[in-house]
Amino acid sequence: MPPKPSRNLILTVSLTLAFTASVLFSLGLSKGETGVAAIWLSNGILAASFLLLPWRWSVPAAVLCFLLNWGAGLLLGNPMGIGFAFPVLNFAEAFATAWLARKACGQTMRLTSLKRVAKLLLFAVVPATAASSVVAADVLTLFGRSFDSVLSTWFYAHGLGMAIALPAILLIARSDAVRDFHRDWPEQFGLYCLMAAGSVLAFTPVRFPTPIIIFPLMTLIAFRLRPRGAAVAAMMLASVSTSLVLGTQETHTGATWTLLQKTRGVQFLIGISFFTALATALAIADQKRLKRLWASRTRVARAAQARAVAAGRAKSEFLANMSHEIRTPMNSIIGFTEVLMKRGDLPEAAHRQLTLIDRAGSSLLNVVNDVLDFSKMESGEVELSPRAIEPRAMAQETLAIVAEAARRKGLDLQFAANGEVDRPVMMDDLRLRQILLNLLSNAIKFTERGRVRLDLDATVAGDAAILRFVVTDTGIGIPTEQATRLFKRFSQADATVTREHGGTGLGLAICKGLTELMGGRIGLDSAEGFGSVFWFEIDAPLAETVTQPASGMRKIGDLGARVLLVDDHPVNRELGATVLTLLGCEVVLAENGEDAVAAARDSGVDLILMDVHMPRMDGLEATRLIRALGGRCATLPIIAMSADVMPEMEARCLKAGMNDAVGKPIQIEALHGVLARWLDEARARDNAA
């Protein structure tokens, strides 16, 4: 925002008066034999006016100062020619300094660091004063003055005066340059009075070297009032010290110095004191600025973290709700379809139609599972459960799962194994099978004719085996430029709306995440029209023996258990009862948590299948109340059965006292496996008791 006219007026008047006083002071007290003043602060004031004021204010002020400079010179005895030459050289020097300062330090001219001050001095003050010194020495030789004397005196007086006055005035006038110096006015007034008194005492001619007290005073002001305070103190020191020193012939050491020597000595002291204090003040201000920046960035980071946590929580809640809403109707579709497909009295056409329904439901379930799996991997909630397996057996089991899909398309499904593929290794077979199924399913989906081949190589090195799986197809292939993005989320080789093959675009991203989670790597080699080769490698520790999984699904009727099914949805209760009856269980139904607690207490059930989201009393509260009944209810197997399969919900179920969780839609074999395991454990525990 540009300065207000009132501020411009005050600044113009102040700088003009300061320039006039400085001219009279320098010419009256320090004018030497060459006609050049030994101390010259005026040009720093004039250069500051060019930098601080807009042109419509600085030009009239410059003209007025020119006339005052010329008049003061004539008043103090300068000849007409020299009296005119001096103001011209002064104004040229001041203007050149201002122009170079803007080039070196930018338009704002904010001296917020020692680096900026150094750039101002080195790239503006020194070149301008050096050039004006040479010109002044040349001009004054026309009037019989010594070139060397004028050159040294001018450069010293103008250069050091400019170096002191210009930064000081910029810091004093531009209070917005450094904002961290504010103190209460009594403290500021007291410190400046102390500085004035110290300046008088420091240059009182006594035998003790009292000027040393200047440094602690300037340091104190730098600490308390920051750069602007140091600038004000330097100007006070310059005014007091030059008046006292130039008015006496004796120094603190007792030696008698010439006017030029005393002037240079006091300017050195003022310059060293000012720049020492300024460096201290700028370092402190910079530290404060860094602390504010750190605090600001910390607040921003915390706010971003809070937003990320909130977004993650919202995403989890959204996925949980969507999962529940999608899986609830799918439970009926897939569950009843599986029940009907097990009937042997259906016509062939009806069985074929049920098969189509089952495939469509499975495809939709795969989409939901892909989204949930990717969400788990992004939040770091996927945990591996390694166990001893045989790589060849696991690969063959996976091929058996996709064999029917390959057969329907007329594809030749091949398998080859090399190396020690029967050597047991420790791996999470479920996650490994998930990767293989995804790659094999994609190969079958994108291959219309020819073959799909799985190659397994196992190389034992020390106490680990390097497993390499390669899935090769003769399908459509992938262009090289599109292959690099296939393992990114929501990416597909054909991203157009007319693509023939569906999918979420998450499958390969999930494969990549799971492979890397197991410490492996994954890649592909493909060319459009020549098929694709997907491969992944995983290092697996060797195992002693293979953990044998349960051998298939028991025959219907083998479970022989009394199961309490708790679900508020009538269709889910009907489906659950049908499936449990198919598995040979006696079913007790409850439609809310309160009924479940009563049934668990009175019905003598062997296991409870508990829905989580229910009105009146949810499954978590019902589980806690059942556990609180004590006795057999304290150890009764309680299995959560919910469409909400997010990790947070599973953790809450286990914390409430449930033993395990199965997701909806109900899949008969998966449900059978969970029931069989917990019923066996409960019976073993009862027999031991």
pLDDT digits (tens, 9 = 90+) for 539-562: 989 887 655 544 444 444 467 889
The pTM (predicted TM-score) of the whole model is: 0.45
Which pLDDT belongs to residue 99?
93
Q: Does domain 391-541 have CATH number 3.30.565.10?
A: yes
CA distances from 150 to 23, 96, 120, 156, 296 (A): 18, 20, 25, 10, 54
* Protein fold of 1-177: Arp2/3 complex 21 kDa subunit ARPC3 (1.10.1760)
Does 570 sit behind a cis peptide bond, omega within 30 degrees of 0 on the bond before it?
no
Q: Enumerate the CATH 3.40.50.2300 domain ranges in the chain, comma separated.
A: 562-688
Mean pLDDT (whole number) for 577-600 = 89
Residue identified by tokens 């675009």 is 505
From-to residues of CATH 3.30.565.10 in the chain? 391-541
Q: Which long-range contacts (CB under 8 A, 24 or more apart) does 316-325 make?
A: 316/375, 316/379, 316/646, 316/648, 319/371, 319/372, 319/375, 319/646, 320/644, 320/646, 320/648, 320/649, 323/368, 323/372, 323/643, 323/644, 323/645, 323/646, 324/613, 324/642, 324/643, 324/644, 325/643
d(CA 322, CA 326): 6
For residue 29, what pLDDT band results from cuts at 50, 70 and 90? Answer: low
Q: What is the pLDDT of residue 369?
A: 67
Instruction: Report the alpha-carbon distance of residue 647 to residue 653 in Å, rounded.
Output: 10
449 — pLDDT class (breaks 50, 70, 90): confident
Say yes or no to pLDDT of 122 above 60.
yes
- Among 20-24, 330-334, 394-398, 564-568, the minimum mean pLDDT is found in 330-334
Dihedral (Cα; 632, 633, 634, 638), 10-degree rounding:
120
Across the range 10-31, mean pLDDT stands at 82
State mean pLDDT over 217-232.
Answer: 79
Q: For residue range 247-292, list pLDDT tens digits in order.
A: 554 555 445 566 666 776 777 777 788 878 877 877 777 777 788 8
Residue ranges, comma separated, of all CATH 1.10.1760.20 domains in the chain are 1-177
| pLDDT classification of 495: cutoffs 50, 70, 90 | very low
| Residues in Cβ contact with 565 at an 8 Å cutoff, skipping those fewer than 6 apart | 573, 576, 577, 580, 587, 588, 589, 590, 609
Mean pLDDT computed over 667-673: 80
Percent of the chain whose predicted confidence (pLDDT) is above 70? 79
Contact between 8 and 57 under an 8 Å Cβ cutoff? The reply is: yes
What's domain 562-688's architecture?
Answer: 3-Layer(aba) Sandwich (3.40)
Segment among 427-441, 460-474, 485-499, 612-626 with least mean pLDDT: 485-499
- Residue in 552, 562, 649, 650 with CA at minimum distance from that of residue 609: 562
Task: Considering only CA atoms, give the Rg of the chain.
Answer: 45
Most confident range, picked from 126-135, 210-219, 382-391: 126-135
Task: Give residue-wise pLDDT tens across range 75-91.
Answer: 877 777 777 888 899 89
pLDDT of 375: 65
